Chain A
Amino acid sequence: MLNRLFSHYVPLSISTFQQSLRFLSLTSINYKRSHADIRDGAVREINLHPEKIQTPLSIDVDKYYGGSGQVRETDFEKLIGDTNNPEILQVKYEDLPIVHMKCTRNNTLVDVSDCTGQQIFRTSCGVVGFHNAKKGTTTAAQAVGIHMGNNLLRRNMKHVRVVVKGTGPGRLMAIKGLQLAGIDIVTITDNTSIPTLHVGLQRPKKMRRV
């Protein structure tokens, strides 16, 4: 009977007393025909979905969904300013100026407005000195950001919140240009227009065939 149970194993001689003991130990085990309980074998651990290592350039997005990365109603009263310098007044978040950036395929338009929404200043790639197709590039966007940054510093507005609209090449580089000029960006919001279906929806233009 024992031989039939372990017939697929290597046939062990049952002559000695020691080996009979070994058989006794084997009978006590509940043998399951699964890869986990194979004798003298091991399952190689394979990670089909390995954990993402937090590199300096990667970030936990889940924290932003519900954690401290998201803006809440209580955050509008948050004070922003240089904590080291007590002379400079600390401003509430809702009183910060807003920088709007419209990033289209051929151009990037940037303008600054008050907390209420009144426009103060406006630039674009054409103002900085680019023409035609070169306006729709990343270098032009960076130049626009720097130009805007210098103007803001002249008006003594160091802390700013940014609103980005549209998908275009100047989406990131305009913000970088602002940072290079030396401005403290507090938040970045996205205001790309997603058309919702309603009665008065204007049908967009037909497809471009080149």
Chain B
Amino acid sequence: MWNVHSRFLARTVWVRNGEVDLAYRALNRILNNEDVFKTARLWERYEKPFRKRGRLCYEKAHEIYNNDMERKIKFLMRKNRVNPWPWN
């Protein structure tokens, strides 16, 4: 395996039937799922430690809030049903 071609094994996407848009979108979706653009944006400029600490705290709090909200919605949706005693 040549060294020039080894970098084509990862992060590549075939273009089928000349549809370049779909291939590009698929590639972007994969990269977003793996947080490639996020890390590239973070490392563009140096992030000082006090900012990093604040960002991590915010992300953890955000995740906790989202999980609790999902739990609450799931629980409350159990009440969303046809009234079993419509004569009452």
Contact = CB atoms under 8 A, between A and B. Distances in A.
Contacts of A61: 26, 29-30, 33
B45 A48 contact: no
Interface string A16-60: 000000000000000000010011111110101000000001010
B84 A64 contact: no
Specify the main secondary structure of chain A where it touches its partner.
loop
Interface of B: 1-2, 4-5, 7-9, 11-16, 18, 20-27, 29-31, 33, 36-37, 39-41, 43-48, 73-74, 77-78, 80-87
A188 B46 contact: no
Nearest to A178: B20
A76 B5 contact: yes
Given A48-B74, A167-B37, A204-B44, A190 B20 contact: no
B82 to A, nearest CB: 5
A195 B39 CA distance: 8
Contact of B36 (A161, A184, A186, A192): A192
11 contacts: A57-B22, A59-B26, A61-B29, A65-B30, A69-B26, A71-B14, A73-B1, A76-B5, A172-B24, A192-B36, A204-B44
Contacts of A42: 81-82
Contacts of B15: 185-188
A190 B82 contact: no
A28 B16 CA distance: 61
A71 B51 CA distance: 39
B46 A190 contact: no
